[in-house]
Amino acid sequence: MPDTPILGYITVDSDGEGFRGAALVVDHRGIPLDFRYTDTVSPTRLERVLYGDALEIYVREEVILGSLLDAVEESPHIWICGDRHLLGPVSQRSKGLAVTLEGSNRNSLDEPGALSPMPEEGYYLLQVSLMGPPYRLSVLSVPDSAKAASILVAAGATMDVLEPFNRIERAIESLE
């Protein structure tokens, strides 16, 4: 487990017309080390017809994720994805640990690091911080859950590990 974990956050959002991705890498205090975003990729009507259902997967995974991960210069200990569909591609391309993290309305678990499996496969409740609700963690494999928990708990002692997604959203909004 790293003493000062570096966390990566990656999202790909669609507004119905186009797709845009962003990646933020922060240190253990939540201070940005690198931030990248893509131009909006807007497929034409012909491309939507030709590619069909595969279009979204192709644009998200191949075009946007690939470009973002190639561009980011920092190597985070963990990638926190904005969508579970990104887990596989991010893990494969970065050759590292990838998880998703969401808030929950549950009561706090016993102590930071407490990990409780949920009924859905690959999902856990993780108490990251001393105070506050547990987070909903999803991973690709069971061994990933323990690795991810140790990194997130270490980071959670000095920062809010879910908060950087808000900053990505605000930064992207300011571009438009």
Partner 1 sequence: MDIKSVKEGLRRLFLGRVSVKALPLWSDREDFSVRSAKRTVQVLRLRPPVSVAKAHFTAWNRGTAKGHRLELFISPPKAKGRSLALDCKVFGRKGFNRKVKVSRYIKRISSLPQMRPNLVSYVDKEKKKGIMALFYPVIEECVIKSALEKESGSLYVWYNPSCNGPPKVLCLVPDPGKRPPLAWRWL
> Which positions from 74 through 113 interact with partner 1, judged by CB under 8 A?
88-89, 92, 108
- The smaller minimum CB distance to partner 1, of residues 37 and 124, is found at 37
The residue (of 95 and 170) whose beta carbon lies closer to partner 1 is 170
Sequential DSSP letters for 81-137: ESSGGGHHHHHHHHTS-EEEEE---SPP-SSTT-EEE-SSTTEEEE--SSSSPPEEE
Window 27 to 56, contacts with partner 1 (CB under 8 A): 29-39, 41, 43, 46-47, 50-51, 54
Binding residues for partner 1, total number by CB under 8 A? 53
Minimum separation from the CB atom of position 54 to partner 1 (A): 4
Taking the complex as a whole, the smallest distance from the CB of residue 72 to partner 1 amounts, in Å, to 9
- Whether 151 and 137 have beta carbons less than 8 Å apart is answered as no
Distance of CA 70 to the CA centre of its chain: 16
Q: Does 66 bind partner 1 (CB under 8 A)?
A: yes
Name the DSSP letter for residue 46.
Answer: H
Q: What is the rounded distance in angstroms from the CA atom of residue 45 to the CA atom of residue 176?
A: 23
Beta carbon nearer to partner 1, 29 or 95: 29
Tell me the C-alpha to C-alpha distance, in Å, between residue 115 and each of 88, 135, 140.
Answer: 22, 10, 15
Strand 7-14 versus strand 78-81 pairing type: parallel
Place of tokens 């069909």: 52
The C-alpha atoms of residue 81 and residue 66 are separated, in whole angstroms, by: 14
Query: In the window 111-130, what residues touch partner 1 (CB under 8 A)?
Result: 129-130
Q: Which residue number, 41 or 114, has a Cβ lying nearer to partner 1? A: 41
Q: Kindly indicate which of the ranges 58-66, 76-84, 112-120, 142-150 contains the residues binding partner 1, using the contact rule CB under 8 A.
A: 58-66
User: What are the residues binding partner 1 (CB under 8 A)?
Assistant: 24, 29-39, 41, 43, 46-47, 50-51, 54, 57-59, 61-64, 66-68, 70-71, 88-89, 92, 108, 129-133, 156-160, 163, 166-168, 170-171, 174-175
